Structure 1
Amino acid sequence: MLSSPGIGSGLDVNGIVSKLMTAESQPLTALDAKEAKQQTRLTAFGTLKGALSSFQSNLVALSDPAKFTAVMANFSDTTLASASASSSAVTGSHSVEIQTLALAQKLKSANFANTSATVGSGTLTIQFGTYNSGTFTLNPDKAAQSIIISPSNSSLSGIRDAINQANAGVNASIVNDGTGNRLVVASQDTGLSNALKITATDTDGNNTDNAGLSQLVYDASTSGTTNMTQTMAASNATLVIDGISISKASNNITDAIEGVTLNLLKANPGTTSTLNLSRDTASIQNVVSSFVKSFNDLNKTIVDLSKYDAATKQASILTGDSTVRSIQTRIRSAISDPLTTAGGGLSLLSETGISFQSDGTLKLDSAKLSKALNDPTKDISTLFASVGKTSDSLVSFTSAKPETVNGKYALNISQIATQGTAIGSTAAALTINTGVNDSLNLTIDGVNASITLAAGTYTATSLAAEIRSRINGTSAISSAGVKVAVSQSAGNLAITSDRYGSASTVSITGGNGKSDLFGTPVETAGVNVAGTINGVTATGSGQTLTGAADSSGLVLKITGGSTGARGDIDFAHGFAAKLNKLVGGMLNGQLIDSRIDGINSSIKDIGTQRETLTQRLADTEKRIRAQFTALDTTIASMTQTSNFLQQQLSRLPKSE
């Protein structure tokens, strides 16, 4: 048995078999090339899908009407104030005189020898409100805060740290004035309604003397105790806008001019500055430019993947591909086709300076766009975004979905949304006694809370403010984003949820003060708005109404008014929304995915063919090698026989 092919015969069996198998393996090489091409096509379709997704992301941003109604605010003297505006602001100019800035109240304690000096222990209660003619009126939107001062943190620095760690709406610091150390307590918020009232429950048994924790009390109302001293009074910002005097608690004013935020920096009484509100055409130009760029980026990807270079006679990987042609054609057609129901005086992108070039790219004529933007009869937002225009000022368009059909929809309201309430059946007791009638258990919008009122004698109005402050300041309520208003009428208290709709509820479930304060309260849950859009019943949730059928996905907000016919809503999808729907269908449907699935299937088939061919080649090599091994053995045997015969012949006697 020969251990190595070719030893017996001298033939290069391994070399011969290798060359024969190289010839036999040509189909395998062809499969490798075929698979590489399919992998390249797979990558190409992935690149195309990514480019479409990027284009769609830009279209989503363009679908927002606010992108095309931006307003720019400029204050003539930027050292006095800065300004910004939302799309709801009305263009024009306003004269502004800033007389005073809003300030936060600051209080200082008496001097202490050092920061480790013991002050006292007990509980500090901080309330926020307004001092006026010797009366402190509670700020109903800010809850009282209680801070426990234990003996372990009863030093000056310990009390400072306890106050700051409590997040009670004030900041505490220690100032050394050269004669000693003073605790300074400052309201975090400016304005008259955020002045401080600090009371103490002192462990020494006296809550108002100038010893122990009561050294830190401050109540500037008549008969109040002021052991701390005011160093800065709380004050409102005062200004005059267009001759109208305005007072605001904050230097950041959002509700003086609709849609405008003023950030006051410096007072300059007697001097008038100008606030100019103008359409932010530069921002809109950028938005439109980004659309043109995003399309051109997509177009470049498509061209690179499918172009044919006539000079080099080289085709791209997707040259002639029907799917790519379909995508390119459909998008270009959607851009070129006019909108039939835009409603803003524009129906073609070319009217805003966007047009196709000979190479298939888009070009923006900025001058033409500016002309359209400055034309009061044109509303460019309707050309791009999904926009609904309402004829009733108390009905506003919120949003729409791609499936919402363009058209004019009649609105009819059968029920206005209301808020949940609990109204007392009798006039409230105005004297609150600790442990007697000072607690209430409530459920507001499904959130449970318990409050304890401060003991004292109130008016009906101040009691309402106290209850509101306590409810809104409860962590369970505030952390859930729930809020209430509390009012009184003829002494009867009413708690109203800020929320609208069937989820808006107020229930007084118990507490020792329920009967004294509310008697047997009448509790009424809120209801959702109800009505029809174009005669089809819509779905109400709070103040929002969502359409069905053709108006499916159309969301309106009804903030008041009467029941019955409430005018029309003119709705239309713009180009961005139309293209977004088209591209979304391409990405989420079978147009590209079916091609990718087909390529993956082909690659899988090639893998199967490779496995079969590889096995066949292995069998072929085994057979050829066996044949050459047998030949090698035969030749080796014949060689041995020949050598033997030669040896025997050489031994025969030579003839004379």
Structure 2
Amino acid sequence: MQATYKYSTDGGITFKGYDGSTFSSTAGTDTSGGAISTTVDYTNEYIDGTNSDSADSEGVKIQFSAGSDLVAGDRFTVDVFNPEMQAAQDAVIEVDNATITKSTNTIDDAIQGVTLNLLKADTSSTVTLTVSSDTSSAKSSVKSFVDSYNTLIKAINDQLTYNSSTKKKNPLLGDPTLLEIRKKIGDIIHGVIPGLSSSDYTNLSQIGISSDGKTGKLSLNETTLGSALSSNPDAVAKLFIGTGTASNSAITFVSKTSKTQSGTHNISVTTAPEKATLLGNETIASGGITAAETLTFLYSSNKTESSPDYTGFSVAFSANATISTIVNNLNSAFATNDVGLSASNESGKVRITSTDYGADIYFKVTSSTGDVAGQIGFKSSVAGSDDDEGVDIVGTMNNRRATGTGNTLTGVTGFPEEGLKISTESNQTGGFGTVKISSGVADKLPSILDSYTNSSTGILKSKEQSIQKTVDNVKAQQERIEKRLITKEQRLREQFARLEVLLGKLNVQSQYITNQLAQITGIKK
């Protein structure tokens, strides 16, 4: 039977494929970067699958013999200084007196925000890891904020000025709406940020941002800002970006939106969230399972949709596979098939649990042997497969029903808690205390400006429509006046024409009378 493999020279952090190229799951077997197959001629095959010694072969030949206990997914190490096969072991580290065991050399959940890549074991030494904050990017962001604010204030002030030299004023001089905008954004910059505790910074002046009373422009004391960032970076962040603080450690503030109002919001859970989980019914002995067994899985992460997607796959185990091997191979298969499941050893039984909460998560396990003594303990298809699905959280915010998805509650539209999102991993129900929301400068400024500049509902839009309506009315009045002038002009022209006709007749009559008078005068003579 031919097998394929990949290999690593850095403890499993990265893997190589055929000819020592970086491993690619999509590359063909025995092609550059692809999986390496075992060959008939073991004597000539180096670890990289080629027949020649090179830097990529690491100078190591490897031979696989028929009847080996190795199965798909197994790992082993080769010490080139003492070349004998060693069984793979879990990584064990101790962090702050807490012992952590992992099946991988990459650990990202021992210290929040830190990923540990384990390269070698050394029980005789202790490594001290110091984590410090890099404040340079934060300083740069605050400086950019100050510069952007000053650009805005200058643009507003320019529209409100009068040039005494040219005796010209800008079109918006004295405009009440623009004056109101300037006042409101100034109040936010100079005022106290609501919702923050006394132990936090509560206004920008405390971190070195001050303003000119005449122009309204801001200036930044970088020394004061640097000290604030070093002593309490979270408090500085809260001045700009609003956050939430839960009174109960069982709930976690996730996020909020510009619609979420500052203040205290009550949280209650009526149905606790659940993960999908199954436990094998048999305790696996130290010698492993009695007979070979295959577990077949069906997994969905959108079970509640009208047409959910499913991922199906199988994991095979040989006879005598121990619970450690079973758990490791299952977790490897879960990662390979990109499903949100995790296997663990629970007092000698196999526990399979989803990584996410909620009704969208569903999985089914079917065993080729069924739930019999000496095996893993899941049912066969004949006996009715084992399956489970998660449960969505159900709860309220401020005594109003919130939207529950997985283990996350979100405040509904139209109320103070709109957009507030919290999560919990607790299996308890009832009151969970409060979440206190603060709104930072970066939250409030866009909200204030949006109330004026929103293209649909903003005050400036309303004012524009009002001005446009006035312009339209003036234009309509002008058109009406123009029509009346045209009508009057036409009437005057008609009157003038009639007057000319009348004058012509009068001229004729005048000439006739003159002639008659002349004749009368000649008769008298």
The change in CA–CA distance for 1:273 and 1:528 in structure 2 (over 3 A counts) is closer
Whole-Å Cα distance in 2 between the matches of residues 243 and 425 of structure 1?
A: 34
Deviation at 1:431, TM superposition (A): 4.3
Within the candidate set 416, 423, 430, 2:289 is matched to: 430
Is 1:361 aligned to 2:217, yes or no? yes
The change in CA–CA distance for 1:361 and 1:541 in structure 2 (over 3 A counts) is same
Whole-Å Cα distance in 2 between the matches of residues 317 and 399 of structure 1?
A: 42
Deviation at 1:424, TM superposition (A): 4.3
The amino acid that maps onto 1:165 is G
Whole-Å Cα distance in 2 between the matches of residues 452 and 407 of structure 1?
A: 52
Whole-Å Cα distance in 1 between the matches of residues 394 and 279 of structure 2?
A: 25
SS at match of 1:165: coil
Deviation at 1:359, TM superposition (A): 1.7
Is 1:582 aligned to 2:448, yes or no? yes
Bigger share in helix: 1
Whole-Å Cα distance in 2 between the matches of residues 324 and 333 of structure 1?
A: 14
Deviation at 1:232, TM superposition (A): 11
Deviation at 1:401, TM superposition (A): 1.7
The amino acid that maps onto 1:353 is G
Matched residue, 2:460: 592
Matched residue, 1:411: 267
The amino acid that maps onto 1:386 is G
Deviates more, 1:249-258 or 1:437-446: 249-258
The amino acid that maps onto 2:405 is S
Deviation at 1:253, TM superposition (A): 5.5
Whole-Å Cα distance in 2 between the matches of residues 566 and 354 of structure 1?
A: 38
Matched residue, 2:394: 530
The change in CA–CA distance for 1:412 and 1:245 in structure 2 (over 3 A counts) is closer
Whole-Å Cα distance in 1 between the matches of residues 360 and 63 of structure 2?
A: 37
Task: Give the total of aligned pairs.
Answer: 431
Matched residue, 1:458: 321
Q: 1:307·1:315 contact (CA, 8 Å) conserved in 2?
A: yes
Deviation at 1:260, TM superposition (A): 3.3
The change in CA–CA distance for 1:562 and 1:317 in structure 2 (over 3 A counts) is same
The change in CA–CA distance for 1:514 and 1:303 in structure 2 (over 3 A counts) is farther
Q: 2:36·2:49 contact (CA, 8 Å) conserved in 1?
A: no
Deviation at 1:174, TM superposition (A): 4.1
Matched residue, 1:518: 378
Deviates more, 1:452-461 or 1:374-383: 374-383
Please provide the CA RMSD for this pair: 5.4
Whole-Å Cα distance in 1 between the matches of residues 49 and 2 of structure 2?
A: 18
Is 1:504 aligned to 2:368, yes or no? no
SS at match of 2:57: strand
Matched residue, 2:277: 421
Is 1:327 aligned to 2:157, yes or no? no
The change in CA–CA distance for 1:369 and 1:124 in structure 2 (over 3 A counts) is same
The amino acid that maps onto 1:324 is L
Identical aligned pairs, as a percentage? 27
The change in CA–CA distance for 1:293 and 1:377 in structure 2 (over 3 A counts) is closer
Aligned pairs (5 A) from 1:471-510: 471-474=334-337, 478=338, 482-487=339-344, 493-508=350-365
Is 1:390 aligned to 2:259, yes or no? no
The amino acid that maps onto 2:378 is F
Whole-Å Cα distance in 2 between the matches of residues 387 and 271 of structure 1?
A: 41
The amino acid that maps onto 2:423 is K
Matched residue, 1:160: 30
In the superposition, the TM-score normalised over structure 1's length comes to 0.53
Deviation at 1:496, TM superposition (A): 1.9
SS at match of 1:412: strand
Deviation at 1:292, TM superposition (A): 1.3
In the superposition, the TM-score normalised over structure 2's length comes to 0.64
Deviation at 1:332, TM superposition (A): 1.8
SS at match of 1:333: helix
The amino acid that maps onto 1:401 is T
Matched residue, 2:501: none
Is 1:294 aligned to 2:148, yes or no? yes
Within the candidate set 416, 425, 433, 1:559 is matched to: 425
Deviation at 1:602, TM superposition (A): 9.2
SS at match of 2:426: coil
The amino acid that maps onto 2:450 is G
Matched residue, 2:507: none
Matched residue, 2:5: 126
Deviation at 1:463, TM superposition (A): 3.3
Q: 1:412·1:532 contact (CA, 8 Å) conserved in 2?
A: yes
Q: 1:531·1:537 contact (CA, 8 Å) conserved in 2?
A: yes
Q: 2:4·2:36 contact (CA, 8 Å) conserved in 1?
A: no
Deviation at 1:302, TM superposition (A): 2.3
SS at match of 2:459: coil
Whole-Å Cα distance in 2 between the matches of residues 503 and 218 of structure 1?
A: 29
Is 1:184 aligned to 2:57, yes or no? yes
Whole-Å Cα distance in 2 between the matches of residues 234 and 458 of structure 1?
A: 14
The structure, 1 or 2, with the larger RCO (C-alpha pairs under 8 Å, 6+ apart) is: 1
Deviation at 1:454, TM superposition (A): 4.3
The amino acid that maps onto 1:462 is T
The change in CA–CA distance for 1:513 and 1:450 in structure 2 (over 3 A counts) is farther
The amino acid that maps onto 1:532 is T
Deviation at 1:505, TM superposition (A): 1.7
Deviation at 1:583, TM superposition (A): 1.6
Q: 2:260·2:417 contact (CA, 8 Å) conserved in 1?
A: yes
Deviation at 1:159, TM superposition (A): 5.6
Q: 2:194·2:262 contact (CA, 8 Å) conserved in 1?
A: no
The amino acid that maps onto 1:453 is A
Matched residue, 1:449: 312
The change in CA–CA distance for 1:310 and 1:237 in structure 2 (over 3 A counts) is farther
Q: 1:354·1:363 contact (CA, 8 Å) conserved in 2?
A: yes
Matched residue, 2:164: 310
SS at match of 2:138: helix
Deviation at 1:326, TM superposition (A): 3.2
SS at match of 1:300: helix
The change in CA–CA distance for 1:322 and 1:467 in structure 2 (over 3 A counts) is same
Gaps of 5+ in 2: 19-27, 38-46, 77-82, 304-309, 486-525
The change in CA–CA distance for 1:502 and 1:244 in structure 2 (over 3 A counts) is closer
Gaps of 5+ in 1: 1-121, 130-138, 148-157, 188-196, 201-206, 210-216, 222-228, 617-656
